Structure formats: C-alpha cells, structure tokens
Amino acid sequence: MRLGRRLLPTLALVLIAVVGATILLLPQTRWLSTGREVVASTLYYQNWYLAFNSRDYTAASSVNSPLQHVWSMAVQGQFFVITLFAALGIGVLLKCGGRILTPVLARPVVVQVVAAAAILAVAAMSFYWATMRMSVNQSFNYYDTIARVWEPLTGGLLAVVAPTIASFWVRSLLAITGLGLILTSGWWIDGLTSYPGPWALVPVAATVALIVAGSPPASVSTTPPLVNRLLATGVPVWLGAIAYALYLWHWPVLIFYLSWRKINAVSVVDGLIVLGTSIALAWLTCRVVEVPLRARPSAPRSALARPETGPQERSGHTAAAQTRVTVGLLVVGVLLSGVGIKVWERHVAAIRVDTTNLDPRIYPGARALLTGAPVATVDPVPSPLEVVKDLPVTSFEGYISGFDDSTVRVGTYGDRTATHTIALAGGSHAEFWITALDALGKQNNFKVKTYLKMGCPLSTDPMPTQRGVPYPGCADWVREAMNQILADRPDAVFTNTTRPRDDAPGDWVPPTYLPIFAQFASAGIPVLGMRDTVWPHNAAGLIDTPSCLADGGNAETCGTPRQSALSPTNPTLDIMGTDSTIAPLDLSEGFCDEDLCPAVIGNIVVYHDVHHLSATFVRSLAPELWRQMTTALPWLAQ
C-alpha cells in the first residue's frame, strides 16, 4: 500500500496530462499509439509494448513517444511483483520444512549467505541473457525484463552483503570515481545501442561505488567523503525529494516541446526551458499530490471526547478534504482518459478506405507528373488518418509472411483462370505493387502469384538485418521461396532490383541481389526489375508522411529532395550487360519531379507510413506500369 501511494498518484497525473497534451499538440495519426501506451503504462507493461512494436512497420516511432521512458517503471513494477511472489514462495517452503530448517536458518550468517547466493545466481543469469541477446535483437533486448532484472538485483545484493570500507581515502576515491562515471557516461556510451549489455555495468557499478563510499562501518567514526557531503546538502537533497516526479515529467515535456516548436533537437536555451519546466512541474506535483497522499490520515477523534475543534484539528480536516479532492480528481481523470482512449480506438477501427472509384479528372495522382494532367484544388485523399489503412490487399488477406513467420504464403490474384503467370516476390516494397498488378491482371488476362515476407527482399545475404537487427529468418525464407518459385515456373518474376544506399545519397543494386537474378536467368525466367521507390526523408531523418501532413505539413514540406534519394540514372541499367533477362521498370518520374519527390501528387497522398506507397497512389501508377511491362514483355499485350 505504501508503495502504491508513493508511485501511482503521480503516474496517474502525468498520464492524464499526456492524454491532454496529445490531443492539443500531436497529430491525430499519433493519438491511437499514444493512447495504447497510456494503457500499457498504467498497467505496467510499457516495456513489452515497446519491445514487440520495435520493428512494426505500422507502429509509431517509439523514439518520439512521450511515454517511452515509462518502460523502466514497468520493469521495476514487474520486478517488485516477481520479488513479492518469490518471497511468499520461500516463506511457504520455510513453513513447510520449518522444523528441519529452522535451527540452521536461525543463524544470520546462513541467511545472509543463502540470500546473497540466490540473488547472485539470478543476477548472473539475467546478465548472461542481456549480453547474449545483444547480438540477436538489441532493440527488443533493451526493453526485456529478463535482460534488465540484474540491474535492480545488484542493489539487492548490495543490501544483503554491503561491503564496509573504513579507509577515508578509499571511500573518497570510490565516491569521486562513481560520481564522475555517472555524470559523464552518457557522453561516451551510447545507451540506446549499448544497453543492457556489458556497458550497462558502468552506471550500475558507479552507483554501487557511490553508495559504498557513503556507508562506512558502524564501528568507525569518520567523516564522509567530500562528494557524499556535497550530495547531502540542500539542493541535491531537494532534487532527490522530487526525483520521481521529475523523472516522469521530463520526457513528455521534451517531446511535446519539440512537437510544439516543430523542431527535432533542442538548443541550450530550449534545453533550459525544458529542464526548468520539468523541475517546476515535479515540485508542484510533489507538493500537491505526493506528500499529501503519502501521509497517513490521522485517526478520527470522538466528538464526545473533543466537543470543540481547535486550529490544528481544523487544519487536519482541511488537509484530509484536500486529499479526498485530489484523489477524486485523479480517479475522474483516469476514467475519462480511459474512456476517451477506447472511444478513439473504436473510431479508428471503424475507418474504411475505398478509393477505387475516384474521379481521375479531380484526383489524377501520378498522372499529374507523368502526363501533366491538370490538378484541381481539393483536399488530398485519403486523409492522413485514413491513409494509414490504405494497404495492399495482401496485407488484409494474410498473404505476406510476418517477421517471425517462415511460411511461404502464396496468394493468387489477377485473372485466376489465365494461363500466363507473373510471380510477385520479395519484401513489402514488392508487395505494394499488387494493387496495380491485380487490376492489370484482371484487365489483361494474366495471373499474379505472390511470394512475400515483411522486410525481406530476394537476396543471398547470409546475415540479413532489419533495422539493424539480425534477421536470420529472412535468409531461410528466401531459400524456401526461391525453391517454390522455380518449381512453379512462372512466365516472369516481378521484384525489386534496387534499394536506397544506407550511408550515401542515391540508390543502388546490392551485390547480394545478383545471384538471385542469375538463378532466374538459368531457369529461363525473365525478371521485371522494379526500381525501388523513394524512402521519404530530409536532413532531420525519416518522414512519416501521414503524421507530417496531419501536423500541418504539405506536399513540399513533407517531401524528399530527389538528389538525396535517387541516383541520376536507374542503377538497374548498370547490370543489363551481365544479365539480359532483366527488364528494368522505373516509375520514379511518377513520384518525383526534377527536384522533389512530393508527399502529395495529383491530390493523392503518396505514402501510408514512413516508406510504403499508399494503395490509392499505386493505382494511379497502373497505366504507366502497364506501358513499361508490355514494352519489356510484348507477349503480355497479346
């Protein structure tokens, strides 16, 4: 109960504030993900929510989440619950075997050794797990409770076996070293990519050193080290008193400040504003919420015993009334926030996108760039909130394998009775072309069979990665998919031949794609090689087009400079001399002009997330795609 009174009211207040600030300052495209994180934070599973969404294409970036920092609170809460049940279990065992074990366990030294050994064993296993998983999936590992539990267990081990050092100079050295590492480690350790592996030992060991330095043996009367004396002065103690509230407030204040200013980084002045605001909110929260609710209410006094009420008792009644009001407001705020989140979730779930019958004279899409079609002055479609659901049909019907799914899921589209077949194969950047290929197949009598997996282009890379995370399942899936495609012997394969460079402007043909094309050439299967589309970005990083537009951006401000995204010519042309079976397809003129790749073209929103074309825009590219396909493979038009 005491822990609950200490933690929950302040957390509830911050979450209520986050809900309100989200409505006021964030685009509607981010309301759903933030609302789900509010629920996850309330129920102390925010770390797992972030872990399982760390490579979800449809999830908002957790880096920009106003509640990203609550993951550590969730880990602590889970740790407390696990510790409680472990203690209860040990208590039951001791009670059952009490007669045998009591004489032995009555010795404090035995209890201390057993407790220390148990904590050390669990901490060691957790640390091993954290270190081993760094090379497997670091982004997931960062939020994993199992990989993090060794950190609080280190504090538990220190409590059981607290080293006592009498030497003033040794303790002074520990204090200086510990404080120095704590203050500087953020500059020379990239915690986002290095934790919770071995580098996390630095801040943990530094904290232990600082605690040990301030804990001399009880039998030794000595002056604490200077560092500990400074930390025991007024300002550090005051900051310590508001530390929990400051921790909860600082990150939402930063994220909402960045959103309000429409900037991606803070200057020194901005940083001081964020810090000052966070400290002020933390102090106010501590004074109005934490301290009153943490105090135990005094026992009620009998009216017969004290018929008259004095000033002190009236003050007590006033404080109790204020406490009840505070609790009531927090409860109402939590309930309203929860209801609001559920209402919005149902609203978003009910959204349907149907743009198959758009008037091409009003919504020309890619034809505005390809043929110079006139563009009327109307709001673009789909709306930013709708376009996030403007996905290819294969995503809705389950014909694309997920990240953890090794099954080759073959779907059939176009004219299912046709004799000619085109295999659409690769990752999600191959998938979104199904919208055009399905329609063209039905119109021109060819079948389309899909072999798709998220984040997995056709490549012979033995160690593929996805967002920097090892992705061994992709290599396994490609081998299975290639075997199945070659066995099915389609008349042609449609796949990507290029992708953006990771560390330089422009695009290229990765060398690991070439052996794939060689396998198709050996089998006599031509390849319709699609040049990959632009991945929206600017100098500040990736652009989430729906959120950018919802936040007041437009086609230009949410667009991408062409020269940073595309090479001067299609890189596929460079491999034509070595592989005559590749027919290059390049629709870049349909989504870029000479200088810019806009976010809206011909009154149609181009992307449904950070780098996937919307189904509506792909549909507008279909006529030009058909022209290029029939030029490459004339038999398609027969």
Which value, to the nearest 10 degrees, does the dihedral of the CA atoms of residues 573, 575, 578, 581 take?
-60
**Are residue 430 and residue 520 in the same domain, yes or no?**
yes
Per-residue pLDDT reduced to its tens digit, 564-579: 999 999 999 998 766 6
- Whether 339 and 411 map to the same domain: the answer is no
Residue 460 placed within a domain: yes
Tell me the C-alpha distance between 505 and 51, whole Å: 31
CA distance 284 to 10: 11
Looking at the domain assignment, is residue 515 inside a domain? yes
Is 423 found in the same domain as 475? yes
C-beta separation of 513 from 444 below 8 A: no
Q: Give the C-alpha separation, 322 to 316, whole Å.
A: 10
Q: Residue 334: inside a domain, yes or no?
A: yes
Q: For residue 9, is it within any domain?
A: yes
DSSP 448-495: EEEEEBTT--S---SS-EETTEE-HHHHHHHHHHHHHHHHH--SEEEE
Q: What is the reported pTM?
A: 0.85
Contact 582, 527 (CB under 8 A): yes
Show the domain range for 32: 1-47+227-295+319-345
Q: Are residues 338 and 394 in the same domain?
A: no
| DSSP label at residue 222 | -
Q: What is the CATH number of the domain that holds 422?
A: 3.40.50
Q: How far apart are CA 425 and CA 401, in angstroms?
A: 12
pLDDT at 466: 84
**Residue 471 within a domain:** yes
Residue 40 falls inside a structural domain: yes
Q: Quote the pLDDT of residue 225.
A: 86
- Judgement on whether residues 570 and 464 belong to the same structural domain of the protein: yes
Q: What is the pLDDT of residue 292?
A: 84
In 3D space, the residue among 535, 526, 477, 527 whose CA is nearest the CA of residue 501 turns out to be 535
H or E segment at 617?
Answer: helix 615-632
> Are 567 and 513 found together in one domain?
yes
In the chain, the N- to C-terminal Cα span, in Å, equals 78
Residues 401, 291: one domain? no
Burial (CB < 10 A; 0-12, 13-18, 19+), residue 72, is middle
Q: Chunk the chain into consecutive blocks of 10 residues (it has 638) and report each block's average pLDDT, rounded to whole numbers.
A: 81 96 93 94 94 61 76 93 84 66 62 83 95 88 94 89 80 92 90 88 93 78 81 91 95 94 89 96 93 65 49 62 82 92 93 93 97 96 96 96 93 96 98 98 97 97 86 94 98 97 93 96 96 94 94 95 96 81 95 97 97 97 97 90
- Tell whether 245 and 334 lie within a shared domain: yes
Residue 198 is assigned to a structural domain of this protein: no
- Is 219 inside any structural domain? no
Q: Is the domain of 471 the same as that of 614?
A: yes
> Taking the CB of residue 482, how many other CB atoms lie within 10 A of it?
20
Please indicate, yes or no, whether residues 438 and 339 belong to a single structural domain of this protein. no
Same domain, 327 and 392: no
β-strand pairing of 421-426 with 492-496 = parallel
Name the token pair of 227.
């560092």
Beta strands in 328-409 (DSSP E): none
Model pLDDT, residue 631: 95
Structure-token pair, residue 450: 């899909």
Q: Which pLDDT belongs to residue 321?
A: 75
| Total domains in the fold of the chain | 2
**Closest to 72 measured CA to CA, from 140, 135, 145:** 145
Kind of pairing between the strands at 560-561 and 541-542 = unpaired
CB 207 within 8 A of CB 178: yes
| One domain, residues 612 and 463 | yes
